[in-house]
Structure 1
């Protein structure tokens, strides 16, 4: 038996709560298809992100470590970041990998595009995989302090288990990319 698709909510009004270079938050007055009013419902607008699973010649995975203030700790993650306005996701992934690690990749492969948090966020994350081609100097943003290293798959699993590599978007990206490589 085929069911009809779920209907979207109706947005009756939308008000920007705060918008600056770090956050774009709006409050919406919504009505569900069943007529239930939900107000305010908060929505965060972010640009899309690009993350890269980069493997070296012996299949170790490149991870970066940086302080994450929301978690109040240093976290291991994949190289990646914001896709600039008008930038192609693959170009953003290549740029972020080069800026954060100095790595120029080869054998690039798209691994999918996924919603970051569809309940409240408007953006997607684009996941790519590549191999190390060459290593140059890094180009951090002024506020970035990043360290990089290569981990074996068992070392990465241990970092996931300990929470040191604990960003779920990055864990999912690794799982997806390694299934496609």
Structure 2
């Protein structure tokens, strides 16, 4: 087996300029040397990472509906949230599931970790599946307003066609659930 060269087209960073430091993200502009020797700039969004949970209760997926300001509309999504500094993704997934839906579970299984927009951001989302859930009380953040719903796979696919589900993490979760229903494994 031939080893993969992950640095084949490496862009060497010559300098970094910090443009913005927010509560969640930061923006920097890197000056880089390209593989051909030319110089270019790259605008990069730095993000602490996030978790998302495909939570199944009685063959229905838990989703939350909330307003997404960048889109200026409501979205239906799986429970998710950003990682706190130094937080283990598994712990964060359990926390977000309970905070947003009120459900808890003993075990979560990692389905996949993926980058949301590697062309300009380093955000990674760790997608977990939770089954055998226990109903409790939600504990929303003070700036969080949402409704919790449980939907079938057919409803999820309909919401995707309607554009009510249109974010990558939820679409990935719906397809993972569909594969699970067909094959018995994630």
Q: TM-score, normalised by structure 1?
A: 0.91
CA-atom RMSD, angstroms? 1.7
Contact conserved, 2:33 with 2:40, CA < 8 A, in 1? yes
Instruction: Write the mapping of 1:94-133 to structure 2, written as runs, cut at 5 A.
Output: 94-133=94-133
Question: In the alignment, which of 2, 8, 12 is matched to residue 10 of structure 1?
Answer: 12
Q: Aligned partners of 2:114 and 2:143: how far apart in 1?
A: 27
- Equivalenced residue count is 178
Q: Secondary structure at the match of 1:161?
A: helix
Aligned to 2:182: none
Q: Distance in 2 between matches of 1:169 and 1:80?
A: 9
Match in the other structure for 1:145: 145
Runs (4 or more) in structure 1 with deviation over 4 Å come to none
* 2:27 aligned residue: 25
* Contact 2:127–2:169, Cα closer than 8 Å, also in 1: no
The answer for unaligned runs of 5 or more in structure 2 is 180-184
Question: Which is worse superposed, 158-167 or 117-126?
Answer: 117-126
1:51 correspondence with 2:52: yes
Between the aligned partners of 2:25 and 2:108, the Cα distance in structure 1 is 31
State the secondary structure of the residue aligned to 1:91.
Answer: helix
Q: How far apart are residue 3 of structure 1 and its match?
A: 9.6
| Matched residue, 2:168 | 168
Aligned twin of 1:71: 71
| Cα offset, 1:62, TM superposition | 0.5
1:125 counterpart SS class = strand
Deviation at 1:174, TM superposition (A): 2.9
Tell me, what secondary structure is at the counterpart of 2:173? helix
TM-score (norm 2): 0.89
Q: Using the TM superposition, name which of 163-172 and 89-98 deviates more.
A: 163-172
* Runs of at least 5 residues in structure 1 that lack an aligned partner in the other structure: none
Structure 2 Cα separation of the partners of residues 169 and 32 of structure 1: 32
Is the partner of 1:38 in helix, strand or coil? strand
Residue 159 of structure 1 and its aligned partner are, at CA, apart by 0.3
Q: Secondary structure at the match of 2:133?
A: strand
Contact 1:29 1:37 in 2 (8 A): yes
CA distance in 2, matches of 1:56, 1:112: 20
What SS is found at the alignment partner of 1:166? Answer: coil
